[in-house]
Amino acid sequence: MTTGFHYDPIYLTHVAGIGHPERPERLQTAIAHLRAQSWFADLHQIDATFAPAQWLHTIHTRDYVERARSACNTGQAYLDVPDVGICAGSYDAALTACGAALALGDTVMSGATDNAFALMRPPGHHAEASLALGFCLFNNVAVLARYLQQHHGLERILILDWDVHHGNGTQHSFENDASVMYISTHQYPFYPGTGAHSETGEGKGRGATVNCPMQAGATDTDYIDAFTSRILPAIENFRPDAVLLSAGFDAHADDPLAEIRLTTDCYAWMTHRMLEVAERHASGRIISLLEGGYDLNALSDCVRTHVAVLSGNDVAPAS
């Protein structure tokens, strides 16, 4: 199995502010941990350039993209809300992160890799069409979904979001669209306040949104139960042409921003299940994009485990 991997030092130029949890050290620690693995050299390294405006505009308004550029270039401290801290390097980092999502899509669709993971920041799943939220500037996974449909001709796209915070921006991007299934596991009630069980999509998209809200203190068993009873059956009915992962690792028990108690082994288990889904329905196509994860050691361990499973280098049992 060939796994694509993307990382770029440009992501370290995005500094959200002193003491901000979404900090460059997240990636510095994770990449050092990955490079220490014996199998890291076997990953297919993928470079990225800025995402073209035409693809950004499939999700974000032109006014918003220009406002983000201007805010970063003129030295504003944050974009739209105080938790989206920015600096002079933030816009280029965000454009590269979104471009990386597209580059991974190209690589997987060409057959050069079976699947791919991007170690990138800033994250994206809270970003709305015209509003920055929750540390996010551009909604990378949403832009990728439209790119796979409009550039590569895929029809049904699955987005599974296991970040501990609900991906409001991603849900809102597709809640009227039955061709993109959005599934989320997240602590609830919690930031950003969306993601109730009753939110199932609207209009033609009704039924294509599946929210699995979790209470504080939820464990591996609760997540496995949700996968077994709701998530995997919904995916089987949908039969996706590609599997996209909003891979946040902040539901880990050691993460400081939430109260879900997952172990690293649970992330391995969920990754195995998605590999199985992708093999059955999507010719193995999985593209995974980093979202949250704020304990440096837990994030590094989860990223290592996730990429090891994707690339067939894991040594833990699959079930």
Backbone φ and ψ for 45, nearest 5 degrees, come out as -75, 130
Contact 51, 95 (CB under 8 A): yes
Please report how many Cα atoms fall inside a 13 Å half-sphere around the Cα of residue 34, on the Cβ side: 28
Tell me how far apart the alpha carbons of residues 293 and 216 are, in angstroms, rounded to a whole number.
17
172 is catalytic: no
> Rounded to an integer, what distance in angstroms lies between the CA atom of residue 38 and that of residue 274?
24
DSSP 9: G
Which residue out of 6, 14, 60, 126 is catalytically annotated?
A: 126
Tokens (6 digits) for 120:
């990138």
Pairing of strands 242-247, 44-45: unpaired
> What is the rounded CA–CA span in Å between residue 84 and residue 134?
6
Q: Are strands 180-187 and 115-118 parallel, antiparallel or unpaired?
A: unpaired
* Count of beta carbons in the 10 Å neighbourhood of residue 312: 13
| CA gap 34, 41 in Å, rounded | 10
Residues recognised as catalytic: 126
